[in-house]
Amino acid sequence: MWIYRVVVPVFAIGIVAVCIVLFLQVNKARAEIEDLNATVSSQEAVITKTAADLRNTENRLQETEDTLRDTEDQLLDTQESLDESIQANIELEQQYNSTVSRLNSVESSLKAEQSRTSQFEEDIANLEAELQLYYDMGIIVKSDMVPPYRASTRPQYDLVNNPEATNVSYIDLRNFLFEDDTDKIPYLVDEYMCGEFAETLHNNAEESGIKAAFVGIHFKDGSTAHAFNAFITTDRGLMYIDVTGSQPGQARPTHLDRIVSTLEVGKTRSVELLWNDGLWYMIPDSKIVSRIEVYW
Judge whether 168 and 174 are in contact, CB under 8 Å: no
Distance CA 255, CA 222 (A): 30
pLDDT of residue 214: 96
Q: What strands lie across the sheet with 258-262, from one edge to the other?
A: 139-142, 289-295, 213-219, 226-233, 237-242, 258-262, 270-273
pLDDT of residue 48: 85
Per-residue pLDDT of the chain (296 residues; tens, 9 = 90+): 555 455 556 667 878 788 888 888 888 888 888 888 888 888 888 888 888 888 888 888 888 888 888 888 888 888 888 888 898 889 888 888 888 888 888 788 778 878 876 775 676 566 656 656 665 666 777 666 667 777 778 888 999 999 999 999 999 999 999 999 999 999 999 999 999 999 999 999 999 999 999 999 999 999 999 999 999 999 999 999 999 999 998 888 889 999 999 899 999 999 999 988 777 777 778 899 999 999 98
* Residue 184, C-beta contacts closer than 8 angstroms, at least 6 positions apart: 245, 256
pLDDT of residue 128: 55
